Each structure stands twice: as C-alpha cells, then as structure tokens.
Amino acid sequence: MTWRKFSGEVIQTPILEEVEHAIERETQLGNKLKVCIGTDSQVKGAITDFATVIVFIREQRGGFMFIHQERTSQKMSIKERMLTEVQKSIDTAYRLCDLLDLYDVDLEVHADINTNPMFKSNQALHEAMGYILSMGFVFKAKPEAFASSYCANKMVQ
C-alpha cells in the first residue's frame, strides 16, 4: 500500500513508522495533535477512484496529511461505495489506533456521508455510523467530516 505526502513525495517507510515519526517530531516541537481519517471516492466512467487521508491537526497551528489512492473497475451502488469508503477509513484507523493511544493522540473517523436525507449518500448513514462507533472510534459526518469531504475529496477530483 503506497502512501504519499501532499507534496507528492512517496513515503518509503511503512505508514505506521511514518506516522510515529510525525507524532514524535510534532511532539518535540510542542504541538498537540489530533488525527482525522477519511476516504472519498469519485466515479469516472467505469472507474472509481478512492482516496484515503490521514490528517494531522496541530492545535492552532495548521496541519498536514498523508494520502493513499486506489482505483477499481468494480461497479457499485451509491450505498456500497459509501460503505467501501467507510471500510477503507476504518482499516486505516484500526492499523493506527494502538500507536495513537500510545502517544495519547485523539482519533476521529470521518465519513463523506450527508446527514440530510435529501442527499443520496444519506442512505448509508446509519450503517456507517454504527460500524464506526461499534469499532470504538469517534464518528463525524458532513458537514463536520472535513477529512473525507474536503481533504480526500481534493485528491479524487
């Protein structure tokens, strides 16, 4: 699984190691961190692009992110696609949660799902929320889910 920085630089070390280095570096600089993980997707013809992001928020000092992108030609309904986004975010959160606990870094999982029933993505809201919360993660949906709705979204447009 290839991750990169926002600059495009490919991360050569395992993502767990890179996250730990980032936490240690930011802690030494006196920054309090929060991590938000989110995934967004975009259908382009027969291809669906997915982008998962690990967003590091420095308390009152901006942030930075790591990005993983993949694509599939598997056809999915809107609900399947929303739940696949959630699955990708949970997989990443689950890989990082022990490390984040060790360093006392708060974690949120963001779902690019609208809380307004007028939007198609809303049909996956209850399943996504139940899945994320049952895994023990803090859940955020639109409009608070900036990791998926803004950060990951920029990567798939």
Task: Choose among 22, 155, 153: nearest CA to 96.
Answer: 22
Helix (H) or strand (E) holding 130: helix 125-134
**In a 3-state reduction of DSSP, which class is residue 133?**
helix
pLDDT tens sequence across 128-145? 999 999 999 999 999 999
| Stated pTM of the model | 0.94
Rounded Cα gap, residues 21 and 11, in angstroms: 12
CATH number for the segment(s) 4-156: 3.30.420
Per-residue pLDDT tens over the stretch 51-106: 999 999 999 999 999 999 999 999 999 999 999 999 999 999 999 999 999 999 99
The residues spanned by each domain of the chain are: 4-156
Measured distance CA(86)–CA(93) in Å, rounded: 10
Residue 6: exposed, middle, or buried by beta-carbon count in 10 A (0-12, 13-18, 19+)?
A: middle
Cis omega (within 30 of 0) for bond into 117: no
The crossing angle, in degrees rounded to 10, of helices 78-102 and 15-28 is 50
Q: What is the pLDDT of residue 66?
A: 98
Q: Give strand pairing partners of 69.
A: 51
34 is written with which tokens? 């929060």
Q: Residue type for 137, please?
A: F
